[in-house]
Chains A and B, each alone.
Chain A
Amino acid sequence: EAQVTQNPRYLITVTGKKLTVTCSQNMNHEYMSWYRQDPGLGLRQIYYSMNVEVTDKGDVPEGYKVSRKEKRNFPLILESPSPNQTSLYFCASSGTDNTGELFFGEGSRLTVL
């Protein structure tokens, strides 16, 4: 089954404790992206990757890092999480240069205390 898998789905952590949210897709997609969703703000793009070893900042990259060492994986790293990073995070992928359909993971709800 074609899917985007995120882990963990739920996480409560404390300020400053590094964490990684993994994302993996099995569709051989070139394009992958991370979004955060906050009430009233819609989805805002954090980082995206056009292909292996190619990443770029989205609209809200501060406090986040990403890497794209393999085509299927695109982890999101919070080196020193802060309470304003409490949010619902989505990973998504697309098979073209993003003109087409985005496939989303089920989301990772992160709470930073």
Chain B
Amino acid sequence: SQQGEEDPQALSIQEGENATMNCSYKTSINNLQWYRQNSGRGLVHLILIRSNEREKHSGRLRVTLDTSKKSSSLLITASRAADTASYFCAIRYGNKLVFGAGTILRVKS
């Protein structure tokens, strides 16, 4: 399967702590994107990192990409209860965008 594999499957942290989620994939990519999904709702795009980029920031989000290890990480700093959601990596192969199974993040206040 070309699907990204995410780790951990679930993560529970205290408000104010940092949350790190990882995504691994198998073949060369065009870009890698991260999405967020609140329970049962549509996915919302967070950030896109291209294959020639190593790091991107957006507010409290930091994404890294290591093409030699075929992996990416999403770091959410100073987490808030409102960050509780599922987070998905999505990998662009050619014309397809393939989603991982997601990480469920719970931020306790």
Contacts and interface: CB of A to CB of B under 8 A. Distances in A.
B92 interface: yes
Interface in A15-72: 33, 35, 40-45, 48, 50, 56, 58-59
B101 A40 contact: yes
Interface in A56-97: 56, 58-59, 88, 90, 92, 97
Contacts of A88: 40
A56 B100 CA distance: 21
Given A42-B102, A97-B95, A102 B88 contact: no
Interface residues of A, number: 29
Contacts of A42: 3, 88, 99-102
Interface in B25-46: 30-31, 33, 35, 40-45
Contacts of A101: 33, 45, 48
Interface residues of B, number: 23
**Binding site secondary structure of chain B:** strand
Given A90-B42, A103-B45, A58 B96 contact: yes
A98 B33 contact: no
Contacts of A59: 98
B97 interface: yes
A99 B40 CA distance: 25
A92 B88 CA distance: 15
A12 B90 CA distance: 30
B95 A104 contact: no
Given A33-B97, A45-B98, A48-B95, 19 more contacts: A4-B42, A35-B99, A40-B101, A41-B101, A42-B99, A43-B99, A50-B95, A56-B95, A59-B98, A98-B96, A99-B92, A101-B48, A102-B35, A102-B43, A102-B45, A104-B44, A105-B42, A106-B41, A107-B41
Interface of B: 3, 30-31, 33, 35, 40-45, 48, 88, 90, 92, 95-102
Interface of A: 4, 33, 35, 40-45, 48, 50, 56, 58-59, 88, 90, 92, 97-107, 109
